[in-house]
Chain A
Amino acid sequence: MAKKAKVEKITSSDLLKVFWNSWFIQSAWNYERMMGQGYLHGMTPILRKLHPDEKEYLDWVKLHLEFYNTEPHISNIIVGMDIAMEEKGADMETIRGLKSALMGPFAGLGDSMIWLTLLPIIFAIGASMGVTGSLLGPVIAVVVWIAASWAIKYFTLVYGYRYGLGMADLLKGEALVTFREAVSAFGLAMCGALAATYVWGAHTPLVLEVSGVKVVIQDMLNLIMPALLSLIFVLFNWVLLRRGYSLTKTVAVTFVLGFVLALLGILG
């Protein structure tokens, strides 16, 4: 495909429009083409500017409706790179290759950092405040989540555009691996804290009478280690998940077990 004669420069207000539209990336998500339609939605504010020729423009509209699926926040790195390359006159094969080559790795990276670390940690801290009945918990969680996730979505777009393909190399580099490890390590420390604090049901009301002396079992367990039963239940659930139990099945097993133990007076 021939290079275009003249393309207007993409401005930061153009990128801002792309940012707003990028919230609709999975609006019509379906099994057939997943985020295909949403990708085009993100590109529409600048597509005409990038491809002034009508015939060519229509071809690009079709291209951006093709199958696409990745993590919807950091998807904007790919969008940013795409814009930079289309601006330099990249052909359709190149852009199709860019999108399909990057969506897989970025899905894995984004899911583990955003949906499995950032969001759960923010809402776990909010829930720890909310559990006493304070509305401050949900308010703080929402404010922090909006600030963090909007910043990620905006800056991935801007840096993706500015540094183009250099960004992809950076994301495969050593610095990011170390960063991901640090995020996981932090997440696991929070898991430990949650495991010790929020499994209230893991408490036994059992009292034994040994030659006239009452022994409160929970007190004895606390002497061994506080929150020991909580830890046991979390690890029990983890073992089930490791064995390939689905989450719903794990929930069902724990629920029935807890219900029966409570009826027997062992938990409560």
Chain B
Amino acid sequence: MNAIQILLLILYAFICGLDMIWVTATGIWRPLVAGAVTGLILGDPATGVTAGALVEFTFLGVFMLGGGSVPEASSGTITATSLVITAALAPQAAVAIAWPVAAFAMNFEIATRSFDAVFIHWADRIAPTGNVRLINLVNILGAVPWALSRAIPVALFLLIGVPAIQAFLAFTPAIFWTALTTAGSLMPACGIAALFNTMYRAEFIPLFLFGFALAAYLKLPMLGIALVAAGLVGGLYVIRRK
């Protein structure tokens, strides 16, 4: 990684923070996209998108709702994909690296959630003048700490963490990295289980089995299964409404 690439990755992490707090207007902070963009910046988009897709599966059911914090996906993905590409690791290893980084980055987000009260107090002071343009500007500025809560951990890892891990790499036996890769490719089970848990209703188990069978036995691609399932469920919904 050269200095420009590192700067671009930190800038991208910053933008991911903006996208997330501005109601995910584009979705570019999701691991699937973050992996692809990191790959583009580092000149290996194919590895990047594969690593991002693998991390995406582990973050499927991971959302902060109502104000709780969860491991921060975009900083984890950017760091892990950078390491996978620069150290020529298997893309599966990205998952194993992304989670600890994401859990670390979460602390910056929690700090932001407290710190941003500064902006509402600022707005309170402007309110009696009725200058809503200024209040709106303050509101937009409130997104900066959110963006920094992604950019700072990524900067720390790219400048200190990745070289350290690369040095560590030289001393570890190959079996360590194959085992890490296997553990990483087991992790989508967590993301899928989290998603399953949020939608779980005992009476819908047959549909779970239906989707499982289409994939396991008939080997249909994911979009095909989505269409078949949407057709079936949509049809049942229409009949039930009649």
B62 engages A193 (CB within 8 Å): no
Q: Decide if A248 touches B36 in the complex (CB within 8 Å).
A: no
Q: What string of 1s and 0s marks CB contacts (under 8 Å) between A225-261 and chain B?
A: 1110011011111101110000110110011111101
**Which of these, A28, A107, A196, contacts B120 with CB under 8 Å?**
A28
* Complex Cα gap A250–B54 (Å): 17
B192 within 8 A of A: yes
A188 contacts B56, C-beta separation under 8 Å: no
Bound state CA distance, A191 and B62, in angstroms?
A: 14
Contact B200 A32 (CB under 8 A): no
Using Cβ atoms and an 8 Å threshold, which residues of chain B touch A227? 212, 215-216
Task: Determine if B24 and A130 form an interchain contact, defined as CB atoms under 8 angstroms apart.
Answer: no
Partner of B215, one of A34, A181, A197: A197
A21 CA to B23 CA, complexed, in Å: 11
Give per-residue flags for B42-85: 1 if the beta carbon is below 8 A from chain A beta carbons, else 0: 00011101101110111011110111001100000000000000
Chain A residues near B141 (CB-CB < 8 A)? 28
- Within 11-43 of A, Cβ neighbours of B (below 8 Å) are at 21-34, 36-38, 40-41
A111 in contact with B63 given A123-B56, A198-B188 (CB within 8 Å): yes
* Cβ-defined partner of A241 (8 Å) among B116, B127, B139, B194: B194
Stretch at the interface among B3-11, B159-167, B222-230: B222-230
Whether A26 contacts B233 in the complex (CB less than 8 A), given A37-B139, A146-B27, comes out as no
| Chain A residue nearest to B201 in the complex (CB) | A184
Q: Counting CB contacts under 8 A, is A168 at the interface?
A: no
| A218 sits at the interface (CB 8 A) | no
Q: Which residues of B185-242 have CB atoms within 8 Å of chain A's CB atoms?
A: 185-190, 192-201, 204-205, 207-217, 220-223, 225-226, 229-230, 232-234, 236-237, 240-241
With both beta carbons as reference points, the residue of chain A lying nearest to B123 in the complex is identified as A37
A28:B138 contact, CB within 8 angstroms: yes
0/1 interface trace, chain A 176-209, chain B, CB 8 Å (1 if under): 0011011011111111111111111110000000
What interface size band does chain A fall in?
35 or more
Known: A27-B139, A192-B215, A255-B183. A182 touches B233 (CB 8 A): yes
Q: Does A127 contact B (CB under 8 A)?
A: yes
Specify which of B30, B116, B210 is in contact with A123 (CB 8 Å cutoff): B30
Q: Is the CB of A241 within 8 A of B27?
A: no
Total contacting residues, chain B, CB less than 8 A:
112
Given the contacts A31-B67, A128-B221, A131-B53, A26 and B215 also touching, CB distance less than 8 Å = no
* Contact indicator A23/B183 (Cβ below 8 Å): no
Q: Are A189 and B116 in contact (CB under 8 A)?
A: no
Residues of B within 8 A of A185 (CB): 204, 207, 233, 236
Is the CB–CB distance between A115 and B65 below 8 Å?
Answer: yes
In the complex with contacts A37-B135, A191-B195, A248-B71, A199-B188 CB distance below 8 A: yes
A85 within 8 Å of B (CB atoms) = no
Contact, CB under 8 Å: A120 / B61? yes
* A149-B24 in contact (CB<8A): yes
B136→A41 contact, CB < 8 A: yes
Kindly provide the distance from the CB of B43 to the nearest chain A CB, expressed in whole angstroms. 14
Taking a contact as CB atoms closer than 8 A, the residue among A123, A197, A238 that contacts B196 in the complex is A238
Complex CA–CA separation, A223 to B21 (angstroms): 48
Instruction: Tell whether A267 pairs with B186 under 8 Å between CB atoms, given A131-B50, A192-B211.
Output: yes
**Which residues of A have CB within 8 Å of B138?**
28, 37
B156 within 8 A of A: no
Q: Is A169 an interface residue (CB 8 A)?
A: no
Q: Are A138 and B192 closer than 8 Å at their CB atoms?
A: no
Does A62 sit at the interface, judged by CB under 8 A? yes
B189 touching A23, Cβ below 8 Å? no
Decide yes or no whether B172 CB sits under 8 A from chain A. Answer: no
Complex: A9 Cα to B159 Cα, angstroms? 56
A175 at the interface (CB under 8 A from B): yes
Contact of B237 among A41, A62, A182, A258 (CB under 8 A): A182
A-B contacts, 14 of them at CB < 8 A, read A123-B30, A124-B222, A142-B28, A181-B201, A188-B196, A188-B208, A196-B211, A199-B185, A201-B92, A227-B215, A233-B186, A250-B193, A251-B58, A255-B183
Task: Add 9 more A-B contacts to A22-B23, A123-B27, A189-B232 (CB < 8 A).
Answer: A61-B135, A69-B66, A116-B61, A131-B50, A133-B45, A138-B33, A145-B27, A190-B226, A199-B192
Residues of chain A having any CB pair with chain B under 8 Å: 21-34, 36-38, 40-41, 44, 47, 54, 57-58, 61-62, 65, 69, 72-73, 107, 111-112, 115-117, 119-121, 123-135, 137-138, 141-142, 145-146, 149-150, 153, 175, 178-179, 181-182, 184-202, 225-227, 230-231, 233-238, 240-242, 247-248, 250-251, 254-259, 261-263, 267-268
